[in-house]
Structure 1
Amino acid sequence: MVNVDLFASMPVYLYGLTSALSRRGLRVIGAKESAAEGLSPHSDVVVVDVNVLQGCDPADFITAAATVAPVVLMVDELEVDSSDVYTGAGVRVVTSLRTGIDDLVQLITDTAGTGCHEHAPEDPKFPTLSQREEQVLRHVARGLTHGQIARILGISQHTVDTYIKRIRTKMTLGNKAELTRAALEYEAALT
């Protein structure tokens, strides 16, 4: 079971998210409305609504949280510039506050490491990808668009975009051509 330390700025949202995550098999060990309430030391993932970071130094809080567990940051609008700032501070995944609950649960479990695929290539140039990241990458290798991948996997295109960003970060890939080449190499290494 994944232990989640949850920070959300609105009480109703915090209550609803706590309830939804719990119903899907995650254990919410901390449900806090403020970053000042501190981190739970036994969490597997820290999930933070960006609005909680108002009134504190976001970089300090994220750095502290990342020393406890991987951080999933939920933001109002996904922008490449702001995502880079947060990931530079230690955030593992940046997603939208509008992400559906099933997609969020998948992101949390993948981030916690429970979704890691055991058959990943042993080549050191390939990082460990979650099962969902591997699925997305294999579809990229087949030449599918983000929309097609979303339909096949039953997730939103926005979530596919998030997985692609995570893969590109893990594999230090710059553009679409590098991603496609790496996807083909990864696919070949699996066979």
Structure 2
Amino acid sequence: MGADGTPTVMVVDDHPIWRDAVARDLAEDGFNVVATADGVASARRRAAVVHPDVVLMDMRLPDGDGAQATAEVLAVSPSSKILVLSASDERDDVLEAVKAGATGYLVKSASKQELDDAVRATAEGRAVFTPGLAGLVLGEYRRIAKGPDATSAPSLTERETEILRYVAKGLTAKQIAARLSLSHRTVENHVQATFRKLQVANRVELARYAIEHGLDE
């Protein structure tokens, strides 16, 4: 955090106009933008110096992808939180970024207010998720649990699975909290715990996988 408690942010994207616009918007809204980067190597170098609270991470970079960049940044700045900015057709890549340590993701079509809210939530250590990401996580878990290495699969609790199902159907954290008589923060904590468990699966080098159906079985 900055001296006044404002989250520090680094924006990683290879399109200079979009990158600069996002950095400018965040600065205007009170965030402390401490660096920008246009690729994996530059993101690693700058994160090692400035140790940003939040990194906005594009998935398509000239010298790698967002998952690789996520791992590189966290290697030199483990306290940073990674928020992926993704296009809707990159869902399998997003899953890899989550496995690499990203806290969540936001689509690039999000509004300015949605971006501000997502950066604040990420800085506070909360999981930023969308129905698409929850669907990927739940689908990956099912695939792992049914596969030959099922004994290595992370174990989801009934509550975690229930919450992911609701998110996958499009409910917000607040709507899920009301339905299950839980706090908003408790719902987000369950989702974040599930993301952490999925990262465990990455250690057995599971194949890339994305699922877009079967969430209502």
SS at match of 2:24: helix
Task: Provide the residue aligned with 1:100 in structure 2.
Answer: 111
Give the Å deviation of 1:170: 2.1
Task: Provide the residue aligned with 2:71 in structure 1.
Answer: 63
For structure 2, which runs of at least 5 residues remain unmatched after alignment? 1-5, 128-156, 161-171, 180-186, 196-213
* 1:15 is aligned to 2:37: no
- Deviation sequence 1:150-179 (CA, Å, 0-9, x none): xxxxxxxxxxxxxxx966632539x989xx
Structure 1: how far apart are the matches of 2:96 and 2:125?
A: 26
TM-score of the two chains, using structure 1 as the length reference: 0.60
Letter in 2 for 1:169: V
Letter in 2 for 1:11: P
- Deviation sequence 1:27-47 (CA, Å, 0-9, x none): 110022222222333310111
* 1:137 is aligned to 2:159: no
What fraction of aligned residue pairs are identical, expressed as a percent? 16
Structure 2: how far apart are the matches of 1:87 and 1:59?
A: 8
- Deviation sequence 1:108-133 (CA, Å, 0-9, x none): 111111779xxxxxxxx999xxxxxx
Letter in 2 for 1:96: V
SS at match of 1:47: strand
Structure 1: how far apart are the matches of 2:26 and 2:106?
A: 16
Structure 1: how far apart are the matches of 2:57 and 2:111?
A: 16
Structure 2: how far apart are the matches of 1:10 and 1:58?
A: 14
Letter in 2 for 1:43: P
Give the Å deviation of 1:96: 0.9
Residue pair 2:83, 2:103 contacting (<8 A) in 1 also? yes
Q: Which runs of structure 1 show a deviation greater than 4 angstroms over 4 or more consecutive aligned residues?
A: 165-168
Structure 1: how far apart are the matches of 2:126 and 2:70?
A: 23
Residue pair 1:78, 1:95 contacting (<8 A) in 2 also? no
TM-score of the two chains, using structure 2 as the length reference: 0.53
